[in-house]
């Protein structure tokens, strides 16, 4: 039987992309050396566009001056996927997890992240699902969560972005992933949902899917 592992949850609130990336790198190093348990960073970014390993700058439809005028920053990253948007009202999760020795399967990890989000959406009365051949979580109204990860020596970084109360007009500035329509929880439910409520459900479902125990001093443990 696989031994249950601890999950340290750190809620960073609103944080710029660059310091969040530095926090990921620092955490990745600690998790890799087993100086820190598997960790889930939950946060919100100001308006940011990121280009993944399969992305191209041509998928960003505004030039540098236009992005600056709208207070949007642009970063190239080593995560998988193409171009995506991060912004206010969007819940971003960066799991830094050591998949070794019992979960060394990239495909399984991606499907597990999708499962966490699908179960979370079910908790919040939203019908969400996978689409074969695509990565992310979808609803009848469009894509609600993007996933892009990086794995080195079986330690994961980057993660998922869930549109909660997101201003979807910012997706008009990019050709997102496969060009599919996007949606948000707010658009589907007709009202805003507190990010903290969604975080609580994410934590519970992440611990469930990955068979982990949430450390009580880092986050309220849910039942």
Neighbours of 48 (CB within 10 A): 21
Q: Write the pLDDT tens digit of every residue in 16-25.
A: 999 999 999 9
In this prediction, residues 63-90 reach a mean pLDDT of 85
Highest mean pLDDT among 55-59, 62-66, 219-223: 62-66
H-type alpha helices, 124-215: 185-189, 195-209
What does the pLDDT read at residue 77?
Answer: 80
**pTM for this model (two decimals):** 0.91
Evaluate whether residue 223 is within a structural domain: no
Query: Which tokens sit at 15?
Result: 């944080």
> Would you name the residues annotated as active-site residues?
177
What CA–CA distances, in Å, run from 42 to 117, 213, 221?
13, 17, 15
Q: What is the Cα–Cα distance from 151 to 207, expressed in whole angstroms?
A: 20
In this prediction, residues 67-94 reach a mean pLDDT of 87
Q: What is the Cα–Cα distance from 150 to 26, expressed in whole angstroms?
A: 15
Res. 129 pLDDT band, cuts 50 70 90: very high
The pLDDT mean for the chain works out to 90
Evaluate whether residue 222 is within a structural domain: no
Q: Write the pLDDT tens digit of every residue in 22-53.
A: 999 999 999 999 999 999 999 999 999 988 76
Q: Write the pLDDT tens digit of every residue in 110-120.
A: 999 999 999 99
Evaluate whether residue 221 is within a structural domain: no
Beta bridge partners of 60: 174
Evaluate whether residue 48 is within a structural domain: yes
Number of domains within the chain: 1
**Is 95:112 a contact under the CB 8 Å cutoff?**
no
CATH of residue 173's domain is 3.30.930.10
Evaluate whether residue 66 is within a structural domain: yes
What does the pLDDT read at residue 165?
Answer: 98
Query: Which tokens sit at 168?
Result: 């979807």
Longest pairwise C-alpha distance within the chain: 56
What does the pLDDT read at residue 59?
Answer: 73
Q: What is the Cα–Cα distance from 74 to 16, expressed in whole angstroms?
A: 11
Domain range holding 174? 5-214
For residue 197, report the phi and psi dihedrals to the nearest 5 degrees: -65, -40
Q: What is the Cα–Cα distance from 172 to 174, expressed in whole angstroms?
A: 6
What does the pLDDT read at residue 175?
Answer: 76
Evaluate whether residue 97 is within a structural domain: yes
Q: Write the pLDDT tens digit of every residue in 176-211.
A: 656 689 999 999 999 999 999 999 999 999 999 999
SS3 content of the chain, % helix, strand, coil (to 5): 30, 30, 40
Q: Write the pLDDT tens digit of every residue in 141-169.
A: 999 999 999 999 999 999 999 999 999 99
Question: What's the distance, CA 9 to chain centroid?
Answer: 14
Evaluate whether residue 219 is within a structural domain: no
Evaluate whether residue 32 is within a structural domain: yes
């Amino acid at each position: 039987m696989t031994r249950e592992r601890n999950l340290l949850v750190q809620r960073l609130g609103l944080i710029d992309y660059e310091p969040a990336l530095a926090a990921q790198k620092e955490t990745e190093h600690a998790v890799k050396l087993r100086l820190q348990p598997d960790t889930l960073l939950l946060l919100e970014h100001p308006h940011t566009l990121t280009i993944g390993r399969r992305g191209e700058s041509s998928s960003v439809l505004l030039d540098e001056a236009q992005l600056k005028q709208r207070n949007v920053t642009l970063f190239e990253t080593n995560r998988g996927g193409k171009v995506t948007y991060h912004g206010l009202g969007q819940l971003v999760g960066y799991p830094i997890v050591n998949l070794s020795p019992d979960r060394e399967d990239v495909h399984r990890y991606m499907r597990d992240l999708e499962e966490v989000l699908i179960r979370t959406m079910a908790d919040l009365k939203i019908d969400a699902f996978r689409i074969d051949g695509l990565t992310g979580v979808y609803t009848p109204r469009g894509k609600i969560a993007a996933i892009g990860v990086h794995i080195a020596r079986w330690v994961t970084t980057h993660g998922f972005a869930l549109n909660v109360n997101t201003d979807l007009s910012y997706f008009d500035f990019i050709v997102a992933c496969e060009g599919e329509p996007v949606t948000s929880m707010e658009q589907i439910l007709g009202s805003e949902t507190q990010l903290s409520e969604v975080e609580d459900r994410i934590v519970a479902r992440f611990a469930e899917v990955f068979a982990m125990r949430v450390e009580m001093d880092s986050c309220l443990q849910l039942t």
